[in-house]
Structure 1
Amino acid sequence: MTEQQQILFACIDNCCYFKLCGELRYTNATGMDDLVERLFRQQSGCKQVVVDLNAASFMDSTYVGLLASLARYCQQQQLPRPTLFSTHAEVNELLFSLCLDQAFDIVQQATGQDYAMTAISGQNYSEQQQGQMILRAHEALIALNDSNKSQFQPVVDILKQQLS
């Protein structure tokens, strides 16, 4: 039995809170992608971003790329660096190996916050839309640093080829 993935979101006092739970894979990333894209498009009132990964047990590179996109959004809006909470050793190892510590303030402890949050549903993406999401996520990873570029540029090149 696979662990259920869940995305929870709240905007409280101009702070956007994301709580990501379970196995975070590209196959269930459409809700997160849609939420991040909506934040990019509209002036959401977010003055600070907090991501809680304490309930995440696994994360693939697409999801890490979505987090990188979120950090880039904060930078473009001249917001403070987002804060990311994570106590899961394997998730933390992935975050640090893909240099998310350059884009987030990573706190390796529980948040201690318990807000009323809204569950975000997955979106019905076409195969083309899902491919575009995966491409954008990996381009955001590449933008973080050169070691990510050498690791993910072949993936980006293949995706671009397949999507054209």
Structure 2
Amino acid sequence: MTDQILFACVDQCCFFKLSGELRYTNASGMDDLVERLFSAKIQCTELVVDLNQASFIDSTYIGLLAALARYAQQHQLAKPVLFCTVPAINELLLSLCFDQAFDLVQQSTDPDIDLTSVQAMPYSDQQKGQMILRAHEALIALNEQNKTQFQSVVDLLKQQLS
């Protein structure tokens, strides 16, 4: 399974299909999409994430997903829909209270849309650090439990980036 990000925006519905090992080392393309969403370069009124072909997801990617939920909340949109049939990933999402910010659906998808492959962005080490920090800040903003679990990571990242 290849690590890849596929994306489409059709009728202001943004569809993210994330496959393979989702680690901070290959997250720059997803981070760029999230940043374009927040800067209104992409117009979305509905967000859908497909993790059915993901084999692993780290806290940076979890934070990028949390940023999507924050976007939906800030724009008074419906909760993003997140499809995932991978038991270990569903367990992780539930342990981080993602069911409060997403509609979690445990079924496969077969979207009839043309998805475009999103390439990694050429981030410097500083930009990667900023991405990891933003992702973890979004993760701790979801709820108190996540804040307790990841605040020390955020504090360390801020210290290292200053």
Question: Would the TM-score normalized by the shorter structure come out above 0.5?
Answer: yes
Code of the aligned partner of 2:123: Y
CA distance in structure 2 between the aligned counterparts of 1:78 and 1:57, rounded to whole angstroms: 31
RMSD of aligned C-alpha atoms? 1.0
Structure 1 runs (4+) greater than 6 angstroms displaced: none
Structure 2: distance between partners of 1:114 and 1:85: 15
Identity of aligned residues (%): 68
1:46 shift after superposition: 1.1
Matched with 2:50 is 52
* From 117, 124, 127, the counterpart of 2:125: 127
Contact 2:37 2:43 in 1 (8 A): no
- Cα offset, 1:45, TM superposition: 2.6
38-47 or 153-162, larger mean C-alpha shift:
38-47
Which residue is equivalent to 1:6? 4
Residue 43 of structure 1 and its aligned partner are, at CA, apart by 5.2
**Deviation (angstroms), 1:150:** 1.1
Which of 135, 140, 148 aligns to 2:138? It is 140
SS of the residue 2:139 aligns to: helix
For 1:69, the aligned partner's letter is: A
Which digits, 9 at most, give the CA deviation of each residue in 1:11-43, with x for residues without a partner?
112211000000000010000000110011015
Distance in structure 2 (CA, Å) of the matches to 1:157 and 1:44:
31
2-side partners of 1:114 and 1:88: how far apart?
22
SS in 2 for 1:18: strand
- CA distance, structure 1, for counterparts of residue 10 and residue 79 of structure 2: 17
Point out where structure 1 has 5 or more consecutive residues left out of the alignment: none
CA–CA distance in structure 1, aligned partners of residues 20 and 133 of structure 2: 23
Between the aligned partners of 1:122 and 1:113, the Cα distance in structure 2 is: 23
For 1:144 and 1:161, locate their aligned partners in 2 and report how far apart those are by CA, in whole Å: 22
- Aligned residue pairs, count: 162
The CA distance in 2 between the partners of 1:155 and 1:102, in whole Å, is: 22
Q: Distance in 1 between matches of 2:138 and 2:72?
A: 13
1:113 positional shift: 1.9
Shift of 1:147: 1.2
The Cα of 1:112 is off from its aligned counterpart by 3.1
Task: Please state if 1:30 is matched with 2:28.
Answer: yes
Q: Measure, in 2, the Cα distance between the counterparts of 1:43 and 1:80.
A: 20
Secondary structure of 2:6 counterpart: strand
Query: Residue 70 of structure 1: CA displacement?
Result: 0.7
- Partners of 2:43 and 2:136 lie apart in 1 by 27
TM-score using structure 2 length = 0.97
